[in-house]
Chain A
Amino acid sequence: MTTTPLSPSTQTQQQPDSLGRFGRFGGKYVPETLMPALAELEAAYEQYRQDPDFLQELDGLLGDYVGRPNPLYFAERLTAHYAKPDGSGPQIYLKREDLNHTGAHKINNALGQVLLAKRMGKGRIIAETGAGQHGVATATVCARFGLECVIYMGVQDMERQALNVFRMRLMGARVQPVAAGTGTLKDATSEAIRDWVTNVETTHYILGSVAGPHPYPMMVRDFHGVIGKETRQQALEKWGGVPDILLACVGGGSNAMGLFYEFVEDAQVRLIGVEAAGEGTETDKHAATLTKGRPGVLHGAMSYLLQDEEGQVIEAHSISAGLDYPGVGPEHSYLKETGRAEYYSVTDGEAIAALQRLAQLEGIIPALETSHAIAYLETLCPQLTGSPRLVINCSGRGDKDVQTVAKYLGSAE
């Protein structure tokens, strides 16, 4: 197994500046108590991202424990579904992050951070979770390394992702319910940060998205960068080129950044992120931060944010707990503002239909989060000419969502 630095040094313009900014986004808007911890984390990350022993351990575990590389799968019947009468149409591939151990991309980052925490001598791990995938990934790596683990989760999310709550507890994690606000990911994240402020000297916070204060957006992106790197390699093997279009769902945006980052400098590759429109972006029940939000500060970073006329953060809404977040990672805000990436949104109903479509055409039940990316094919495919190669990040599997889907379909009948 080869060990390569986590970030190619040629991509300097995509590194945040010394204050952790991507353009005007990012930064460190946190209580003073956390500033030394962020500096310590930054220093540790800078040290170990180039450290051969660290990279070898990470690569070994990504292979034998997570099961990487996962396939770049040609979705033949989905491709046929979107083919035009003349036979042209996008060639659709799925990057199978759903086949990772624990069923989603989240473990790439959880594993990287736990190895870092171990080297930093932190024996206690905390994390926030929405859909429960990041919580499960964190509980998993904590079990693997014998570390104490506390997962903050909104009470509403605990109800709609009950299976994942049970999985975390099975692996010895304590799941701490958060009832504040609407009991979703935003509130769980705030509570995790409060825990970190209190226990900062003994605890590492494994933040689960490309959000939060610097260095998290950069570090989480880099740990997920393996998704894009494998995709490049596999595309080269399969058709001797790069993908024409990359498509991924965006809540905080970790799976999208993981796929996009490798290709940001390949200007011919279209990068498309799909947000959750909930009941519709014209309603007040959505999570389409980049589509409808304005710049603001949440959970330590300047980024697009759903907020009211007083600068108070608005509760997001999505059927998908993992996308139900009023903020977004700062690098996505930067990619949007520079025009490098495009962002659209699809509704709850469109996501459910896409989940059913993929299940029936390919025998793959995607997570509700992932289903948002797949749903955007309905809009995108008719606009495309020729037969571009399109890679969707199949970021997670849908086992955790079957009850939510059953409930939705039951009430829709």
Chain B
Amino acid sequence: MTSVSDCFQALKKQGTCALIPFITAGDPNLGTTAEALRVLDQSGADLIELGVPYSDPLADGPVIQAAATRALQQGVTLDKVLEVVQSVQGEVKAPIILFTYYNPIFYRGIDNFLAQVAQAGVKGLVVPDLPLEEAEVLLKPAAAQGIDVTLLVAPTSPKERIEAIAKQSQGFIYLVSVTGVTGTRTEVASRVKDIIPSLRGMTDKPIGVGFGISQPEHAQQIKAWGADAVIVGSAFVKRLAENSPPEGLKAIGEFCRSLKAAIVTDQ
């Protein structure tokens, strides 16, 4: 696996909009998670976000909350999630970004946590409850371990804040498309259309758009508005949750390919 930044560099050269699927680790079980990483990698995923299940996922809607609860009930731990990441090293080319809330990082100790995730082969981190002001403790030590910490920008963020976040964010900038939690929505928020060009004027870092994107048409729209990456979460988690593991894997593979097709065959 290459780093998140290098991956985006390469995609940029090709003029490709990246697809970043998200799945919750350990739902329905860790074996399926490992297989899902392989399937997504082979079905057009350019990077993969892997959610570490947490007891109080404040930024998540019902689909990912329920997946995290099921995973925790089965005894999924951070160590076990990292074992899965390690087990697919060499096979999965897409860089893996860990999506985790801050308390498990803090509990383990930042340096200790970073050393362990780097060792497992994790390339990036997204910590949804660590805004810019609180993220400083993580940014530098992560960079020293070769891990990109990607910060989030929201539709409510004022211009000066967006500038400051864009400056500090590593790998890419995660633009939250809606005021709200993760989860599928029927329409893509049109505010994104205005925020992307404004972000462009402030930074040359790649822009990834997530939250609420669940259909190939959404992905196509986001790409057309100028995003460098489209992040899709709940729609994948739901497909894994609603089917038996073999059927779920098949479903996410097909879905991943349909999203990819939507963003490569742009008019």
Contacts and interface: CB of A to CB of B under 8 A. Distances in A.
B156 A201 contact: yes
Contacts of A294: 107
B107 A311 contact: yes
Nearest to A37: B156
B179 A198 contact: yes
Given A198-B180, A313-B56, A30 B131 contact: yes
Contacts of A32: 131-132, 151-154, 156-157, 165, 176
B103 A297 contact: yes
Interface stretch (A134-142, A161-169, A189-197, A223-231): A189-197
Given A28-B133, A197-B180, A36 B107 contact: no
Interface in B180-209: 180-181
A310 interface: yes
Nearest to A180: B65
A32 B103 CA distance: 17
A335 interface: no
Interface string B41-57: 00000000000001110
B126 to A, nearest CB: 11
B129 interface: yes
B119 to A, nearest CB: 18
A309 to B, nearest CB: 8
B155 A190 contact: no
A29 interface: yes
Given A31-B128, A35-B161, A312-B72, A190 B56 contact: yes
A200 interface: yes
Nearest to B130: A29
Could you tell me the dominant secondary structure of chain A's interface residues? Answer: mixed
A312 B180 contact: no
A297 B103 CA distance: 5
A194 B58 contact: yes
Interface string A138-155: 000000000000000000
A186 interface: yes
Contacts of A259: none
A319 to B, nearest CB: 23
Interface string B121-140: 00000001111111000000
A190 B102 CA distance: 15
A305 B103 contact: yes
Contacts of B181: 194, 197-198
Interface string A17-30: 00100000001111
A199 to B, nearest CB: 7
Contacts of B132: 32, 35
A108 interface: no
A310 B134 contact: no
Contacts of A33: 154-157, 176, 179-180
B179 A310 contact: no
B77 interface: yes
A4 B26 CA distance: 56
A186 B54 CA distance: 14
A294 B104 CA distance: 12
Contacts of A35: 131-133, 154, 156-157, 161
A307 B133 CA distance: 24
Nearest to A19: B133
A177 interface: no
A296 B58 contact: no
B78 interface: yes
A313 B55 CA distance: 6
B57 to A, nearest CB: 8
Given A31-B152, A32-B152, A32-B154, A312 B54 contact: yes
A200 B156 contact: yes
Contacts of B176: 31-33
A313 B129 CA distance: 15
Given A30-B58, A194-B58, A296 B106 contact: yes
B233 to A, nearest CB: 14
A33 B59 CA distance: 10
B129 A31 contact: yes
A272 interface: no
A193 B151 CA distance: 20
B90 interface: no
Given A32-B165, A198-B179, A310 B78 contact: yes
B108 interface: yes
Contacts of B153: 32
Contacts of B180: 33, 194, 197-198
Interface string B148-170: 00011111111001000100000
Q: Can you list the 5 inter-chain pairs with the closest CB atoms, starting with the nearest?
A: A311-B107, A311-B104, A33-B154, A198-B180, A312-B55
Interface of B: 54-56, 58-59, 61, 65, 69, 72, 77-78, 101-108, 128-134, 151-158, 161, 165, 176, 178-181
29 contacts: A27-B134, A29-B102, A30-B58, A30-B131, A31-B58, A31-B59, A31-B128, A32-B151, A32-B176, A33-B157, A33-B176, A35-B131, A35-B161, A36-B157, A180-B65, A186-B56, A194-B61, A194-B181, A197-B180, A198-B178, A200-B179, A296-B103, A297-B101, A298-B56, A300-B129, A307-B103, A311-B107, A313-B55, A313-B56
Given A37-B156, A180-B69, A297-B106, 10 more contacts: A30-B129, A30-B131, A32-B131, A32-B165, A33-B154, A33-B156, A33-B176, A201-B179, A294-B107, A299-B56
